[in-house]
Every structure is written in C-alpha cells, then in structure tokens.
C-alpha cells in the first residue's frame, strides 16, 4: 500500500450544476502529489488542497517539454458505487510513455493506490446525472532548475480530478472531418505512441485550420507519405468497409494505443465482426466511398467513447458517410461500452474496478 499523507481542506467548494459541467472546467477540492529525486526514487506521496504550484521559471518542463499525461474516468453506477474502467491499461501506458521520455517509471500498484485514494477522497464530486463522470488526469513534469538539455533528475507526479458532463447531451451527432495533407501529428520513431503534451502542441495548428474551415476535427495521415490514416483529432479511428472493420495498426509507433480502441476491438470480435488492424490508405477509403462500400467511420477515446464521422473532406470531394447519421456498429459499441462503464451492462471482461 502506498503511504499517503493527507492534508484536507476545512471547507469544500460548492459543486457545479451537473447539467452544465462541460469538459475540464471545474476541479475538485484536493490533488495528489508525489516527488521524484535521483537516488531517492519516488517519495512523499500526499493528498493536499487543490491549488496553484510555485515553480522556478527555469524548470525544465517549461523549456523542453519533458511532460507526460494520462486520462481516464470514474463512473457512478446505479447503486451509487464508483468504479474505474481498465485503470491498469492507463498505468501500463503511462510507464511506456515514461520510458520514451526518459522519465523514471512508477510502481503500477502505487499509481492505482494513488488514483483510488484521491477519487475516494473526492467521492462526493463524482456526478450522477446520465452520461456524466469524474475525469482523472495524472501527469508528470520535469522540475530540474537549469537550462541544459538532458533528462531531469527531479519530477513531480500529480493527479487532478474534474467532474465532466455528458459528451452528447443532445444525442450523438456525427461530425465533419478535414483530411489534413500538410501538417502531421507524429512520425515513425517519434512520440506518437506516447501520451505527451508535445504531441498536442504540434497538432493545434491543424485543428485550428480545420475549425476555421468549418470542420470539427482533422484526420491525420502518416508523416512519411501522407497516405496512410493515423488518427482522427485526438482519437483512434475505425472504418467499416463492406461490413468489415478496419483500424490502423500500432506497428509504426505513430498511433496512441487507446484503451477505448483495444476495448472496441475486443467487443467487436466478440460480437462476431471481422476486425483488421493494418495500414489503411486514404485512397482505399476514397475507393470504398466511390463503390458505395464505405459503411461507417468513427473515432474512439475516453472522452467521447465513440464519435461518428458524418463527412470526410479530402480537399477534392466531400464524402458523406451513412447519411450523416450514426451507424449500427458505432451505436452498438457506444451502448455496450458505456453500459459496462456505468454498470448497466454485465462486465464479463473484468474491466471495471471499484474505487473502494
């Protein structure tokens, strides 16, 4: 058991209206912090009042972006208990990211203890309105005070929590996507498979361009040939072509291995669908569209679970998918996955973990 010191607030904040939570706008009363020092390892785990940090402006994270993060949720079930969804997968990915960024690894059991302890402390912050949840954001920053470029010798691992609203308060509406053919998100050998802030910083320009043109998200193509599909926005991507399900494989290392992606693949195979993890070119999608075999396309991720694409603009043609309506595969996945997460569908996979 991780030894955690508690310093609790005297007066808790008023909770926001569960009908207008949005995403990542409110934060709970406490946060988790643990420090790392070379020679000493990770130490001083504590749960303290949520608030600003005081950091030296020369801290390495501000200059060279040695930073990583994770994202998962706690869900309130009908009987009032609170559960996590596959936290072991996030923790495993966390250490893979750490390895890539030369950040010292964490003991997976300690991370799970920390998440459970913080969520249990903030249990009253887990909303109960349909579709709402408590978003959990673990992250690590490099805190050495000096401007030389090298892996830091000191770090802070923190966890903050944010009650978030239903992603689809008005029902699932497919979004319009722009196929980005200039900017890239990740390259082979880079950090695409790691969950790091730097990946987001360099993707903002594509997102901004797409939004200015009236699209919600970007479909990212590979960084070498601009030919193969990587991800959609900050989500993994699935296409249903002629009844078969295709998702880009993780082999190139430019794609973030989503927990939702892995869960969808397993659920789909159990439902009897054929799922292929392989390279998928934008040309193959365009040809399927022309032949009338492009049945569905959707993104997957913790925030939205499943986000169908209604229109795909490749700069030459606006491809309308499934009449801009959610398709049967995306709907079935959404219902099953959210059913397991909120405890409405039996979890025969052992994916859910009670907080206490």
Ligand X SMILES: *Cc1c(COP(=O)(O)O)cnc(C)c1O
Nearer to ligand X, 29 or 230 (CB): 230
Contact 214, 281 (CB under 8 A): no
Nearer to ligand X, 45 or 161 (CB): 161
Which parts of this chain interact with ligand X (CB under 6 A)? 71, 195, 231, 234-236, 256, 258-261, 300-302
Q: Specify the pairing of strand 305-313 against strand 5-6.
A: unpaired
Nearest-approach distance from CB 89 to ligand X, in angstroms: 7
Nearest-approach distance from CB 60 to ligand X, in angstroms: 22
Nearer to ligand X, 66 or 254 (CB): 254
CA 39 to chain centre: 32
Measured between alpha carbons, how far is 35 from 312 in angstroms, rounded to an integer?
45
Instruction: Dig out the tokens for 336 from the structure.
Output: 């099953």
Residue 4 exposed, middle or buried by CB count within 10 Å (0-12, 13-18, 19+): middle
Task: Tally Cβ neighbours within 10 Å of residue 273.
Answer: 16
Nearer to ligand X, 234 or 312 (CB): 234
Nearer to ligand X, 30 or 89 (CB): 89
Nearest-approach distance from CB 179 to ligand X, in angstroms: 17
N-to-C CA span, the chain: 14
Nearer to ligand X, 235 or 355 (CB): 235
Nearest-approach distance from CB 262 to ligand X, in angstroms: 8
Nearest-approach distance from CB 248 to ligand X, in angstroms: 11
Nearest-approach distance from CB 300 to ligand X, in angstroms: 6
DSSP 91-138: HHHHHHHHHHTTPPP--HHHHHHHHHHHHHHTGGGS--STT-EEEEEE
* C-alpha to C-alpha distances, 216 to 7, 24, 324, nearest whole angstrom: 42, 19, 14
């Amino acid at each position: 058991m991780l030894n955690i010191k508690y310093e609790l607030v005297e007066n808790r904040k008023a909770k926001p209206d569960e009908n207008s939570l949005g995403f990542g706008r409110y934060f709970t009363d406490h946060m988790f912090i643990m420090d790392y020092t070379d020679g000493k390892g990770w130490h001083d785990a504590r749960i303290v009042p949520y608030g600003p940090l005081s950091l030296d402006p020369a801290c390495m994270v501000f200059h060279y972006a040695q930073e990583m993060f994770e994202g998962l949720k706690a869900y309130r079930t009908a009987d009032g208990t609170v559960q996590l969804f596959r936290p072991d997968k996030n923790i495993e990915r966390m250490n893979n990211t750490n390895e890539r960024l030369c950040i010292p690894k964490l003991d997976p059991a300690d991370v799970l203890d920390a998440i459970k302890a913080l969520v249990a402390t903030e249990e009253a912050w887990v909303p109960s309105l349909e579709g709402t949840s408590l978003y959990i954001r673990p992250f690590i920053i490099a805190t050495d005070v000096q401007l030389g470029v090298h892996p830091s010798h000191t770090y802070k691992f923190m966890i903050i929590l944010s009650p978030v609203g239903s992603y689809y308060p008005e029902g699932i509406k497919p979004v319009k996507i722009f196929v980005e053919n200039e900017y890239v998100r990740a390259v082979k050998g880079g950090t695409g498979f790691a969950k790091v802030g730097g990946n987001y910083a360099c993707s903002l320009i594509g997102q901004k361009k797409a939004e200015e043109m009236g699209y919600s998200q970007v479909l990212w193509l590979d960084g070498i040939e601009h030919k193969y599909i990587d991800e959609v926005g900050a989500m993994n991507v699935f296409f249903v072509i002629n009844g078969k399900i295709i998702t880009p494989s993780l082999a190139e290392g430019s794609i973030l291995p989503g927990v939702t992606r892995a869960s969808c693949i397993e659920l789909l195979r159990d439902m009897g669908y054929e799922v292929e993890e392989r390279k998928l070119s934008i040309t193959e999608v365009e040809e399927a569209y022309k032949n009338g075999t492009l049945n569905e396309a959707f993104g997957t991720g913790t925030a939205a679970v499943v986000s169908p694409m209604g229109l795909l603009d490749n700069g030459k043609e606006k491809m309308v998918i499934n009449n801009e309506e959610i398709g049967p595969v995306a709907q079935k996945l959404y219902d099953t996955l959210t059913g397991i997460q909120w405890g409405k569908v039996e979890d025969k996979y052992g994916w859910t973990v009670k907080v206490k």
